Amino acid sequence: MSDDDGMLLNFTMSDEPNVAISKRATVTSGTWKERRMMKMKLEGKEPKKRSNGKDDGSNRRNKRRDVAVDDLEMTNDAKATWESFSGESGASDNQKGKQKKDGPSNVIPAHISSQVVTSLFTSNRKIDTLKNINQKNEDEETNPSNAPLIADDFESSGVSDILVKHLHEKLKIDKPTSIQKLVLPQLLSNNNEDLFIHAQTGSGKTLAFLLPILSRILNMKTRVDRKSGCFAIIIIPTRELAQQIYQVLISLTGCCHYLVPCLLIGGESKKSEKARLRKGCNFIIGTPGRVLDHFQNTESVKTQLGKSLRYLLFDEGDKLMELGFEETLSQILSLIHSIPIDTSAFPSLPSRIVNILSSATTKGDVTKLGNVALKNYKMISNGKMDNNALTSVPDQLVQSITIVPPKLRLVTLGAYLDSLCKKHKQQKTKDASHVSRTIIFLSCADNVDFHYEVFSSSDSHHGNLVGDSVRILTKGNTIFPSVDPEINPDVICYKLHGSLTQQMRTSTLQHFSKESETVAGKHLIMFCTDVASRGLDLPQVGTVIELDPPFAVEDHLHRIGRTARAGKSGESLLFLLPGEEEGYMEYIKPYHPKGWKMLNYTDDILKPTFQNAAVSRNDKSKARNSDEWDINATTWHLNLERRLLEDNYMKELAVKAYISHTRAYATHISKEKKFFNIKFVHLGHLAKSFGLRERPRTMGFQTAKHEEAESKKAKRENPKNKMFRLAREAQKQSFSEFNY
Ligand SMILES: Nc1ncnc2c1ncn2[C@@H]1O[C@H](COP(=O)(O)OP(=O)(O)OP(=O)(O)O)[C@@H](O)[C@H]1O
């Protein structure tokens, strides 16, 4: 495909050769005023400037700027490519001479496609939010709300001495956090009540329930080993989280090697899990489906449970219910409770099975789980509790919000990532091996694939590290880092979602979390779905970006909770669209008692990155060397658009991402639909942020067969049913993210 495609702004082109632009140009996008102005310009007429008297001048300036951007795009991009085309096509000297005289913009070559390229900066919806409704007080000193308590210790809470020593020497943990301080005495006492542990993200809920259970086993007079039976079963919604808790247990049992945990998760070999169960284990950690499967089909499990099982834990209980595991959990519970308890072997353990639920958020569903699992449970929380059982975000987390028009989402993300990379470079001057970690949350797997590809595969300036899900970037990128291809990016990109193989998911997370020579001095950027939003304890995540809005406020809290953990600092940025989505800020205000900063997408994000950046074009033409931020931002975007035109694989990814994203958008919970309704989104503009110049349906992308099938379906189906069907499909897709 020609490089020239897409160099034309806001007008369609004739296929006829050498047709004067002034006669044929049709302006097809923008407001009517802009279209008229552009059309007049193209026809060589000077539009009359009229003032309505209300304009304070800034509008006029902006409008002039938009037109100027269009002109510049046309003169630099279009002229350059038309010129180069006329050279390539072997135009006659006569023609060339004529072109020179008339100027290149007067003649349109035959094979330039009739693609319409809309400008990034025109026709964007107005942003209503003029004032930050929840301004962060920058002068207020904030103490980390999920940090260990300085004036406390584990000994006084009754934790076993061996464990206290091990925590101090091997894990460098000396003081309990506030939720641990509350839960420890409860589980160490002989009350044996069911518990609901509810505390902020990163506040140490895992140790809050594991330490007392281990302590009680270690404090028993009886000698135990892996053959003594399973004392606790921990059920978790995601495989990654199960692996994490398994690792925590492995490190805790470092002081008592005779106690053995066992991991049961989907995607792993059932045969080897069975073998491990036969050998015996003291803790089972698993995802619901696989645990039930073993309970039903592995005889050795049931025989162990009667004399030993005393604790049943549901971590991220609300997510378990949201994913529809109620039935599976009920079956697990009825199987467990059907086994008679024999207290004679371990009399100092509870005389009944204690059920424990843990989560940073609660909602209607979790009470259902409470009814399924907990009996007269006690709620233990370190947060503010009211009717809505709110958990606020950690006090030290610095939240920012930016309202960005749909067309500009991708370029704004690029600019923000670039600013994070610059920050990382600064930190590297103090410590050459400094590692920065950034997580970007996206709506669905296809969207992750697309963004990962955009930011990591430009011009093949990358090397794969772990299969195709971890890429180290090298010099020469024109997309990322967005500005100077000559500088070593020092960036490693990762992708994580439920459609990757379990092996890939595990090795990706390991690479992202572990300190190693490959990651030393690098900025690690992970593009992921909500599969990484729950419970994952990834070390030193400095920034969380929510490019796609969360599907429910609980997801928002969990996503941003991947940073600012256990008293550490952290930042997060939420992208919203102008219009109805701006109302979301009022909705999440109660969860952010410390407020947030509003970032202006132009002044605070785009300008600092693109001003004087001289972004190079990724085609044959020379670099622009422009100082203008908006021209540089436009060049950056056009580079991507050109890639899509030249690379069918990229284009397919973009189309799939766009389609899946719009479908996923329709699955926002009904309570939040007033902010996130696909009807409010300008789909053409949204397509632009996927590098697409038109909405996929109008691009003729679908095959004739597919279209025929679709149109038949459309004829049969009424719009309401179609909406429900698409929502169901998207929901199914988002659930399958987790691939249990
Ligand atoms: N007492 C402590 N002192 C220092 N660090 C701790 C302490 N307790 C836990 N941590 C660390 O805090 C981090 C967060 O712990 P954990 O994963 O249990 O949080 P959480 O409350 O379960 O968070 P989430 O709700 O996001 O799942 C872990 O790295 C853990 O090692």
d(CA 672, CA 668): 6
What number does the ligand 1 atom closest to the CA of 177 have? 1
**What CA dihedral angle connects 404, 408, 409 and 413, to 10 degrees?**
-100
- The pLDDT tens digits for 303-361 are 777 789 999 999 987 778 777 788 888 889 888 888 888 888 898 999 889 999 888 87
238 contacts 320 by C-beta, under 8 angstroms: no
- The pLDDT tens digits for 230-242 are 999 999 988 889 9
664 contacts 730 by C-beta, under 8 angstroms: yes
- The pLDDT tens digits for 414-435 are 999 999 999 999 999 999 999 9
CA of residue 551 to ligand 1 center, whole Å: 25
The b/e string for 196-233 (b: 16+ C-beta within 10 A; e otherwise) is bbbbbbbbbbbbbbbbbbbbbbbebeeebebebbbbbb
CATH number of 397-620+628-645: 3.40.50.300
> What's residue 264's pLDDT?
94
Residues 6+ apart with CB under 8 A from 535: 236, 238, 241, 244, 315, 316, 558
d(CA 159, CA 169): 15
**What CA dihedral angle connects 465, 471, 477 and 479, to 10 degrees?**
170
| Residue ranges of domains in the chain | 154-381, 397-620+628-645, 711-737
152 contacts 439 by C-beta, under 8 angstroms: no
79: pLDDT strictly greater than 60? no
Q: How many CB atoms lie within 10 A of CB 534?
A: 26
Phi, psi of 261 (to 5 degrees): -90, 155
What number does the ligand 1 atom closest to the CA of 558 have? 26
d(CA 649, CA 644): 8
- Per-residue HEC secondary structure of 256-302 comes to CCCCCEEEECCCCCHHHHHHHHHHCCCEEEECHHHHHHHHHHCHHHH
**What CA dihedral angle connects 246, 501, 727 and 589, to 10 degrees?**
40
80: pLDDT strictly greater than 60? no
Q: Give, for 708, the enclosing helix (H) or strand (E).
A: helix 704-716
Q: Which residues line ligand 1 (CB under 6 A)?
A: 148, 173, 175-177, 180, 199, 201-207, 360, 535, 537, 561, 565-566
User: Tokens at residue 485, please?
Assistant: 């291809």
User: Tokens at residue 38, please?
Assistant: 């552009």
Which region holds residue 263: left if phi is over 0, alpha if psi is between -120 and 50, else beta? beta
CA of residue 338 to ligand 1 center, whole Å: 34
Reduced to 3 states (helix: H, G, I; strand: E, B; else coil), residue 526 is strand
- What's the number of CA atoms in the CB half-sphere (13 Å) around residue 79? 16
Predicted confidence band of residue 4 (pLDDT cuts 50, 70, 90): very low
d(CA 121, CA 503): 43
CA of residue 216 to ligand 1 center, whole Å: 21
Identical fold between 154-381 and 397-620+628-645? yes
Amino acid identity for residue 683 in this structure = L
Task: Please state whether the peptide bond connecting residue 144 to the residue before it is cis, i.e. omega within 30 degrees of 0.
Answer: no
- Per-residue HEC secondary structure of 156-188 comes to HHCCCHHHHHHHHHCCCCCCCEHHHHHHHHHHH
Mean pLDDT, range 504-521, rounded to an integer: 93
Predicted confidence band of residue 399 (pLDDT cuts 50, 70, 90): very high
Q: Whose CA is nearest to atom 29 of ligand 1?
A: 537
CA of residue 208 to ligand 1 center, whole Å: 9
195 contacts 356 by C-beta, under 8 angstroms: yes
User: Tokens at residue 148, please?
Assistant: 């260990």
Using a pLDDT cut of 70, give the percent of the chain over it: 75
CA distance to 250, 323, 335, 719, per residue, from 288 (Å): 21, 11, 13, 36
Reduced to 3 states (helix: H, G, I; strand: E, B; else coil), residue 545 is strand
CA of residue 539 to ligand 1 center, whole Å: 11
d(CA 302, CA 621): 71
Cα–Cα–Cα angle for 578, 456, 438, nearest 5°?
60
403: pLDDT strictly greater than 90? yes
Comparing CA positions, the residue from 198, 191, 167, 178 lying closest to residue 314 is 198
Mean pLDDT, range 436-465, rounded to an integer: 91
Residues 6+ apart with CB under 8 A from 480: 414, 417, 418, 454, 455, 456, 458, 473, 489, 491
d(CA 154, CA 169): 14
Reduced to 3 states (helix: H, G, I; strand: E, B; else coil), residue 59 is helix
Using a pLDDT cut of 90, give the percent of the chain over it: 46
Which stretches does DSSP call E strand in 627-713?
Answer: none
Residues 6+ apart with CB under 8 A from 51: 60
Mean pLDDT, range 728-736, rounded to an integer: 53
Q: Which of 146, 163, 166, 173 to mutate to test the pocket of ligand 1 (most atoms within 8 A of CB)?
A: 173
Phi, psi of 570 (to 5 degrees): -175, 160
- What's the number of CA atoms in the CB half-sphere (13 Å) around residue 180? 29
> What's residue 556's pLDDT?
95
Q: Which of 359, 537, 541, 562 to mutate to test the pocket of ligand 1 (most atoms within 8 A of CB)?
A: 537
Highest mean pLDDT among 133-142, 149-158, 653-662: 653-662
What number does the ligand 1 atom closest to the CA of 561 have? 26
384: pLDDT strictly greater than 60? no
Q: Which of 173, 177, 196, 206 to mutate to test the pocket of ligand 1 (most atoms within 8 A of CB)?
A: 206
- The pLDDT tens digits for 547-598 are 999 998 989 999 999 999 999 999 999 999 999 999 999 999 999 999 999 9
CA of residue 188 to ligand 1 center, whole Å: 19
CA of residue 219 to ligand 1 center, whole Å: 24
Q: Whose CA is nearest to atom 27 of ligand 1?
A: 535
- Per-residue HEC secondary structure of 352-409 comes to CCEEEEEECCCCHHHHHHHHHHCCCCEEEECCCCCCCCCCCCCCCEEEEEEECCHHHH
What number does the ligand 1 atom closest to the CA of 199 have? 21
251 contacts 291 by C-beta, under 8 angstroms: no
Mean pLDDT of the residues in the chain: 79
> What's residue 704's pLDDT?
47
- The pLDDT tens digits for 515-532 are 999 999 999 999 999 988
Q: How many CB atoms lie within 10 A of CB 540?
A: 16
- Per-residue HEC secondary structure of 572-608 comes to EEEEECCCHHHHHHHHHHHHCCCCEEEECHHHHHHHH
CA of residue 546 to ligand 1 center, whole Å: 22
> What's residue 207's pLDDT?
96
- The domain 154-381 having CATH identifier 3.40.50.300: the answer here is yes
